[in-house]
Amino acid sequence: MRHLSWQDFDQAVECIGLTYPRPTFSGIYGIPRGGLVLAVSLSHRLQIPLLDQPIAECLVVDDIYETGRTLKPFQQRSDVTTWVWISKQPTAWWHAVETTGSSDWIVFPWENAAAASDDESLYRASRRHG
């Protein structure tokens, strides 16, 4: 299990922020749940509106790309830019602050670390049966 810190989070936000010194995005949309925290912080960092739904020319963010289920709706959208903090797959049509081949369960700083083991078990069981 890999525990990320708020300092790691700040570095990820800064990494994405430095990529767009003069952003022209219509806004930023965070995929619920993990992408919301990243979206709020980037909204402040990039000084762009936080959106409640994705629109053309927006930045779409999520905490992790593992199976691709949460980002799949954006795969064919050439009118959005998509980022994740951690990608467990080699990037293709999305960007990642960090790409890893590790199968370690990632615990983000906003998550309940004590419940992480249960979350991991439920997640892995859902992938075996669905």
What percentage of the chain carries pLDDT values higher than 90? 81
Domain count, the chain: 1
Residue 124 pLDDT: 64
Q: Which of 77, 75, 76, 95 minimizes the C-alpha distance to 86?
A: 95
CB 60 within 8 A of CB 80: yes
Helices and strands (DSSP H and E) totals, the chain: 3, 6
Q: Domain residues for 107?
A: 2-128
CB 57 within 8 A of CB 78: no
Return the C-alpha torsion angle 18, 19, 23, 29, nearest 10: -100
Residue 13 has pLDDT above 90, yes or no: yes
Q: Give the mean pLDDT of 27-41.
A: 96
Q: pLDDT tens digits, residue range 51-83?
A: 999 999 999 999 999 999 999 999 999 999 999
